[in-house]
Amino acid sequence: MTPNMKSLHLLFLAIICLAAAGCSADDRAPVTNQTSALGSTIAGTTPSPQRSPMQPPKTGNPENPPFYAYTHHRSDGNRFVSGRGSLQRAAPVDIPLAGVPRWLVAAPFGAGVLWVAVLEDGRVQGFLVIGKAVSEQPITPKRLPPGMPPVLKVVDGQAELLTPSGAAASPLTPPAVLQPNGGIAYLEAGGGLVLSDGPSSRLPVNALPDARLLTGENNRLLVLTGPTTIYSHGVLGDAIEAGGFTLVQVYPELKIESTVGLTGEVIEGLAAIWTDLDGDGTREILVTASNVDRGARLLVFDEAGNQIAAGPAGGSGLRWRHQLAAAPFGPGGEMEIVDVLTPHIGGVVEFFRLEGKELRLVAEIPGFRSHRIGSRNLDMGLAGDFDGDGSVELAVPTQDLSQLGFIRRTQDASSGAEVAWTLPIGGTAATNIAAATEKDGRITLGIGREDNVLRVWTPP
């Protein structure tokens, strides 16, 4: 056989092997997965209804993956924006709205930033902001169920909000996007977890009906589970809290990886923070645990469900700790956790550092408010380098909701933190803080107001 004939023969055999295996160049192509400032940039498309739920959906064009924006900013629940700002010098842009806003998301879009506000009655409004210029941008759908947070998808110059496809879907929580394959998951009002691949892709996990689905790498999900009424604080929209959390594997088999149930305590929140707290390359799970006797404390678990650290308790019942973010807040860039103790009465911003089995309080500063009592919007605080100095600040409203305070960690032995600067909101804050990182790495910030206005700060 001549060399040319031998090459043709080998090529023919290779084609036969590929056909027999049922694979294609698209199936074997690598999938990119980048965690962005505002959510997740994921290569992939929504799975076809005919696809088996035990197979990852085919990915889309890895050169132009969809961008997803969440009100809790990152898909793992960590409210931390990347990039650098110069917001201490930013002039605001005020955008009139058709009603009172309750939710806000933003994403890079063309030469500017797309802002999407969801009003109190569920109506949706979109605006493209380029510098100081504002133009209305159509968004589908035009309305969400009142109270449902938005998840914004941007791809190929088009923008839409994700909505769950099933009639039994909970109206209180949005879908989530699996990483890296791009499948869609949502919660049923009865606590079931559903993949949008088909009717058989359902797992009964007894989820909190207003819990946020968090996503991590390898197509995994984390959700608060075990609804209970043993703790009657009721400041997060109803008197039902989670009794624990559940980690779910999606592919190749939809199953529970681990589940945790607390004893004598509830998880007072709608989502964990699922991120690497100790720098070992694996994620930890951070929750706020509350009970009648000692109030709220922060707990850290590993992914197997083992408790590995705990913070101090609030001292008495009905004293909530609102966990916000984990980021390198420390004066030397150390990883720290930030929360607001009793945000409705005094609001003390606290910074904790994980040291062995303890979350040690290292700094605190009073006078801030990260939540409106009775609201399910827990995203009124955001971490990031908002002044471009290389250090991370916390942006959070003042106690009267009239200004945004930017809190920086310091070496000061008395408090360990300071208010670096403030920005006037121009009214009373009504939504979460939203942000987008533009193509050049600059951070843009926004918040909705009770007087039917969206205020945006664009970098100078």
Core vs surface per residue 318-357: b (16+ CB within 10 A) or e: bbbbbbbbbbbbbbeeebbbbbbbbbbeebbbbbbbbeee
pLDDT at 394 over 90: yes
Instruction: Return the pLDDT at 62.
Output: 60
Q: Which residue has the higher pLDDT, 28 or 296?
A: 296
Residue 434 and residue 215: Cα distance in Å, rounded? 19
Count of beta carbons in the 10 Å neighbourhood of residue 456: 23
Percent residues over pLDDT 70 in the chain: 85
| Structure tokens belonging to residue 376 | 């399910």
Instruction: Return the pLDDT at 414.
Output: 83
pLDDT at 226 over 50: yes
User: Mean pLDDT, to the nearest integer, of 134-148?
Assistant: 97
User: Mean pLDDT, to the nearest integer, of 347-362?
Assistant: 97
Instruction: Return the pLDDT at 132.
Output: 94
| Structure tokens belonging to residue 319 | 């004293």
What mean pLDDT is reported for the chain? 87
pLDDT at 199 over 80: no
Instruction: Return the pLDDT at 180.
Output: 87
pLDDT digits (tens, 9 = 90+) for 149-174: 999 999 999 999 999 988 899 999 99
pLDDT at 15 over 50: no
Q: How confident is the model at residue 194 (pLDDT cuts 50, 70, 90)?
A: very high
Q: Which has the minimum average pLDDT: 61-65, 95-99, 293-297?
A: 61-65
User: Does the 28-457 domain belong in CATH 2.130.10.10?
Assistant: yes
User: Mean pLDDT, to the nearest integer, of 442-453?
Assistant: 98
Q: How confident is the model at residue 45 (pLDDT cuts 50, 70, 90)?
A: very low
Q: How confident is the model at residue 52 (pLDDT cuts 50, 70, 90)?
A: very low
Q: Which has the minimum average pLDDT: 53-62, 260-269, 303-312, 392-401?
A: 53-62
pLDDT at 327 over 70: yes
Q: Return the domain boundaries, the chain.
A: 28-457
Nearest to 360 by CA among 289, 298, 288, 316: 298
- Cis check: omega of the bond before 101, within 30 degrees of 0: no
